[in-house]
Amino acid sequence: MNDKDGNEIIIKIEDLVKKFGKLEVLKGVNMQVRRQETIVIIGPSGGGKSTLLRCINKLEHYQGGKIYLDGKDIDEYDVNQLRTRIGMVFQQFNLFPHMNVLQNLTLAPIKVKKIQEKEAVEKAKYLLNKVGLIDKIDAYPEQLSGGQKQRVAIARALMMDPEIMLFDEPTSALDPELVGEVLDVMKDLANSGMTMLVVTHEMGFAKEVADRIVFISNGVIEEEGKPEEILKNPQKPRTREFLRRIL
Amino acid sequence: MEAVLELFKNFQFLLIGAWETLKLTAFSVGIGLILGTFIGMGRLSKIKLINYPCTAYVEFLRGTPLLVQISIIYFGLPQLGIQLAPYPAAITALGLNSGAYIAEIVRAGIQSIPKGQYEAARSLGLTHWQSMRYVILPQAFRNILPALGNEFITLTKDSSLASVIGVSELMRAGQFVISRTFQTFSIYFGIAFIYFVMTFVISRLVRYVERRMATA
């Protein structure tokens, strides 16, 4: 599936509706993600940013609309298969505290992808090197700083060779001085050609790394465009107001 | 004086009973753990066909006396054509009973683990069962170890009820000694003392394991 400019569309979201009880959190979201694109999703809290991400890997059920991966409705994939293709990084890291770093990384590849332990360990070492934490391979999560935890969490997600990475406010739980190291890893990842959807309030990151910024408010995409367009010259009053408050 | 003498003379006999009590309790806790783990998970299922029976099980077994449960299994079931010897009947009753209590402990243990742990596991492609087995339950069991220790202690004491259907555990052994010696006070006191030593040792063991797991 390609868009009009011939770019490959990896994810297509059509009229997505998500309700928590009576509360409508997503009110018909339409969106396309091109392969290798980095999209930063911004917007006021409670606007539906995280929920949108969580619908894509089916951590949330949605009530209306469709999501396509590679042109196929995600409901037609086996859910666990789908999730191995979509990596996710959480605000609270969610490392497994009873396992060391290596075990955190190798659990899913061994149990889900059934790869040999030796191969998984090699891969874990390679990725830990990439995120600069090879010396923490035997450490337990509680021995790591927040920034280190999040870098391990990114490496853990990458162990499954995902085609897309979802980042749900990856730096919001970090002390300010630890934000940079995580953003650097994400930047490298974006530059390596990973398709990324990032919910964040880090406007510097958005400006520098994003191919597109999507502004979500009240459950709809209010505005989207290139970072310079959105950040410098927002068209909608809501966007203007939001940016004025956070910049 | 004679009372103390009789206690000493029969102490070895009581210890054999105590050993039986320990075996009976261990088997029952084993059954209770397996049963309780699954029922505890079932209590948290969103599927009503799983959730409701598990809830009913827990409520019924916690809401009826163990002595009645033992009686149903040993005296009641034969009328339906199921005849169990005293020992298997006691293990069944105690196992089913502790299963209900352990289910509640396991349920609380699972609920004590932050939701993000399960979501992280599932987002990596692990199935529900794999997430439970490798991520949730190991953490839950660490948290509920003290509660499980309490259950073990409770069951050690409750196993004395198996004496009413003729299982030769500590209580029954003591009654047997009394029927020969008529030394009710010293023998019952001796029984109490042995129960106390057993539960005390178990509670220390649990605390030791707990501490070791905390530092691990």
Global pTM reads 0.88
* B112 vs A: CB within 8 A: no
* A97 vs B: CB within 8 A: yes
Whether residue A84 and residue B121 make contact (CB cut-off 8 A), yes or no, is no
Q: Tell me the per-residue pLDDT of B157-178, one tens digit each, with 9 for 90 and over.
A: 999 999 999 999 999 999 999 9
**Residue A66: φ, ψ to 5°:** -135, 150
- Report the amino acid identity of residue B54: C
Strands of A195-199's sheet, edge to edge?
A: A86-89, A164-168, A195-199, A38-42, A212-217, A220-225
* B121 vs A: CB within 8 A: yes
In angstroms, what CA-CA distances link A64 with A24, A58, A219, B110, B212? 11, 13, 13, 32, 51
- pLDDT tops 90 at residue B135: yes
* B134 vs A: CB within 8 A: yes
B214 pLDDT band, cuts 50/70/90, is confident
Centre a 10 Å sphere on the Cβ of residue A206 and count the other Cβ atoms it contains. 21
A223 class by beta-carbon count within 10 Å (0-12 exposed, 13-18 middle, 19+ buried): buried
Q: Which residues contact B22 (CB under 8 A, 6 or more apart)?
A: B156, B198
Q: Mind giving me the DSSP string for A85-121? A: HEEEE-TT----TTS-HHHHHHHHHHHTS---HHHHH
- pLDDT tops 80 at residue A84: yes
Alpha helices in B63-136 (DSSP H): 66-71, 86-111, 115-123, 128-130
E strand or H helix that includes residue A178: helix A176-191
* A107 vs B: CB within 8 A: yes
pLDDT at B216: 57
**Pick among B112, B117, B124 to test the A interface (most A CBs inside 10 A):** B124
Task: Tell me which chain A residues have a C-beta less than 8 angstroms from the C-beta of B142.
Answer: 98
In angstroms, what CA-CA distances link A218 with A150, B85, B139? 29, 68, 38
**Residue A19: φ, ψ to 5°:** -120, 140
Task: Give the number of A-B residue pairs with CB atoms closer than 8 Å.
Answer: 60
Q: Tell me the per-residue pLDDT of A189-242, one tens digit each, with 9 for 90 and over.
A: 999 999 999 999 999 999 999 999 999 999 999 999 999 999 999 999 999 999
pLDDT at A86: 96
Task: Tell me which chain B residues have a C-beta less than 8 angstroms from the C-beta of A86.
Answer: 123
Whether residue B134 and residue A111 make contact (CB cut-off 8 A), yes or no, is yes
* B51 vs A: CB within 8 A: no
Q: Tell me the per-residue pLDDT of A143-185, one tens digit each, with 9 for 90 and over.
A: 999 999 999 999 999 999 999 999 999 999 999 999 999 999 9
Give the gap in angstroms from C-alpha B127 to the nearest C-alpha of chain A.
7
Query: Given A87, A88, A111, which is nearest B126 (Cβ)?
Result: A111
pLDDT at B215: 64
pLDDT at B3: 77
Mean pLDDT, rounded, of chain B = 93
Kindly state the DSSP code that residue B169 receives in the 8-state scheme: S
pLDDT at A1: 67
Q: What is the mean predicted confidence (pLDDT) over B15-37?
A: 95
Long-range contacts for B21-25 (Cβ within 8 Å, ≥24 apart)?
B21/B156, B21/B159, B21/B160, B21/B169, B21/B170, B21/B171, B21/B195, B21/B198, B22/B156, B22/B198, B24/B87, B24/B90, B24/B91, B24/B94, B24/B159, B24/B162, B24/B167, B24/B169, B25/B94, B25/B152, B25/B155, B25/B156, B25/B159
Assess contact for A133 and A104: CB atoms under 8 A: no
Whether residue B122 and residue A94 make contact (CB cut-off 8 A), yes or no, is no
Within the 136-175 window of chain B, which residues sit less than 8 Å (CB to CB) from chain A?
138-139, 142
Residue of chain A whose alpha carbon sits nearest to that of B143: A98
pLDDT at A47: 87
Whether residue A84 and residue B135 make contact (CB cut-off 8 A), yes or no, is no
Separation between Cα atoms, residue B178 and residue B159, nearest integer Å: 19
A114 class by beta-carbon count within 10 Å (0-12 exposed, 13-18 middle, 19+ buried): exposed
Task: Tell me which chain B residues have a C-beta less than 8 angstroms from the C-beta of A81.
Answer: 125
* B215 vs A: CB within 8 A: no
Query: Of B24, B6, B67, which is closest to residue B189 (Cα–Cα)?
Result: B6
B211 pLDDT band, cuts 50/70/90, is confident
Whether residue A88 and residue B123 make contact (CB cut-off 8 A), yes or no, is yes
Separation between Cα atoms, residue B156 and residue B199, nearest integer Å: 7
Whether residue A90 and residue B134 make contact (CB cut-off 8 A), yes or no, is no
Whether residue A88 and residue B139 make contact (CB cut-off 8 A), yes or no, is no
Separation between Cα atoms, residue B10 and residue B134, nearest integer Å: 49
**Pick among B117, B123, B215 to test the A interface (most A CBs inside 10 A):** B123
Q: What is the mean predicted confidence (pLDDT) over B42-48?
A: 94
Assess contact for B110 and B136: CB atoms under 8 A: yes
Whether residue B123 and residue A156 make contact (CB cut-off 8 A), yes or no, is no
Query: Of B197, B208, B206, which is closest to residue B21 (Cα–Cα)?
Result: B197
Centre a 10 Å sphere on the Cβ of residue B97 and count the other Cβ atoms it contains. 25
E strand or H helix that includes residue A195: strand A195-199
Tokens of B84: 């169990």
Whether residue B116 and residue A92 make contact (CB cut-off 8 A), yes or no, is yes
Task: Tell me which chain A residues have a C-beta less than 8 angstroms from the C-beta of B123.
Answer: 57, 59, 83, 86-88, 157
Q: Tell me the per-residue pLDDT of B107-126, one tens digit each, with 9 for 90 and over.
A: 999 999 999 999 999 999 99
b/e sequence B40-57, b meaning 16+ C-beta within 10 Å: bbbbeeeeeebeeebbeb
Q: What angle do CA A171, A57, A145 make, to 5 degrees?
A: 25
Give the gap in angstroms from C-alpha A90 to the nearest C-alpha of chain B.
8
